[in-house]
């Protein structure tokens, strides 16, 4: 009916070796791409902040007008 699940943990050495192998597979971006993507994230974050502030102000004005 019900199957039992083994709760034995893998040896830590094996886990760290696997982690190291996975990190070697990562393709890290070069400096130029990293700078461009960082600037894009910062600019989009600022734009979203401004849009949220505008929508918040409009909603507040509308609620103040109703009340």
> What is residue 14's predicted lDDT score, i.e. its pLDDT?
83
Range of the domain at 46: 27-66
Residue 61 lies in a domain: yes
Residue 5 lies in a domain: no
> What is residue 12's predicted lDDT score, i.e. its pLDDT?
62
Quick check: 58 and 51 in contact, CB under 8 A? no
This prediction's pTM: 0.60
Residue 17 lies in a domain: no
Residue 39 lies in a domain: yes
Tens-digit pLDDT string for the chain (67 aa): 556 666 666 556 688 888 889 999 999 899 999 999 999 999 999 999 999 999 999 999 999 999 8
**How many domains, the chain?**
1
């Amino acid at each position: 009916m019900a199957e039992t699940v083994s709760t034995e943990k893998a040896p830590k050495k094996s886990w760290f070796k696997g982690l190291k192998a996975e990190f070697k597979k990562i393709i890290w971006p070069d400096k130029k791409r990293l700078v461009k993507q960082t600037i894009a994230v910062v600019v989009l974050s600022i734009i979203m902040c401004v849009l949220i502030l505008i929508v918040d102000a409009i909603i507040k004005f509308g609620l103040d007008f109703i009340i």
